[in-house]
Amino acid sequence: MQIDSLAALEDLTLSGLPSLKSLPQCGLPSNLQEVTIIKCEGLSSLPISDWGFQRLTSLSSICIDCEDIVCALLKERLLPTSLVHLNICNLSHSKSLEGKGLQHLTSLKCLYIYKCPNLESLPEDELPSSLLSLDISYCPKLEERYGNKRGKHWSKIAHIPEIRINGKLIS
C-alpha cells in the first residue's frame, strides 16, 4: 500500500504486532491526529527519527507503551508541539522520564502515566506550563512520591490544576 492512499488517515492504532519492524519509508501520514502504539516491540529497532513525528502538525494525541520508543521520543524531542494528550504506559524499567522532551510540548494539556512500576519521579522542573491534567495510575513509586499533599515533592506539581492518582482526584 502506498502512503498516498493513507493521506486522509486521521487515527492510527498499531496493537499486538510484536513482529512489526517497519513503517512506510516516507513516514506516517501528515493528517494523523491520534496515534496508538501498543505491544509493537519490533518497531523499537527502527530509527525513531525516521518516523517523522515532528512533521505531524495535526497530531494531538499519542499513546505508547514501548519503553524504547518513549525514551527515544522524549530524549530526542521528536514529538510535535501540537500534542495535547500524551499517554505513557507499561514502562517496566524506566526510573524517570526525559524532562526536556516534555518541556517543548507547549500545547500539552493532559499527561497520563499508567502501569510504570519503576518510575520514581517526573521531570518536575521541566513539565510544560500548559499542563492542566496529570493522571497517574498503577505507578507505586510515583504514587508514593506525589500522593501526599503535604509531602516535599507535592509542591513541585501542585501548580497543575487537576491531579489524579489511581482515579482519585487529589487536587
C-alpha torsion sign, points 65, 68, 74, 76 = negative
User: Quick one: pLDDT at residue 156?
Assistant: 87
Between CA 85 and CA 108 the distance in angstroms is: 6
Closest CA to 34 of 9, 61, 52: 61
pLDDT by 10-residue block (mean), the chain, 171 residues = 66 88 75 91 79 87 91 88 95 86 93 95 90 96 86 86 93 78
User: Quick one: pLDDT at residue 3?
Assistant: 47
Hey, is 64 helix, strand or coil? strand
Q: Residue 52 in contact with residue 29, Cβ under 8 Å?
A: no
User: Quick one: pLDDT at residue 62?
Assistant: 95
Closest CA to 73 of 42, 118, 105, 95: 105
User: Quick one: pLDDT at residue 112?
Assistant: 97
Q: How many CB atoms lie within 10 A of CB 106?
A: 11
Hey, is 43 helix, strand or coil? helix
pTM for this prediction: 0.90
User: Quick one: pLDDT at residue 134?
Assistant: 96
User: Quick one: pLDDT at residue 10?
Assistant: 92
Between CA 43 and CA 95 the distance in angstroms is: 22
Q: Would residue 164 be called left, alpha or beta, if left means φ above 0 and alpha means ψ between -120 and 50 degrees?
A: beta
User: Quick one: pLDDT at residue 1?
Assistant: 44
Hey, what CATH class is 22-169 in?
alpha beta
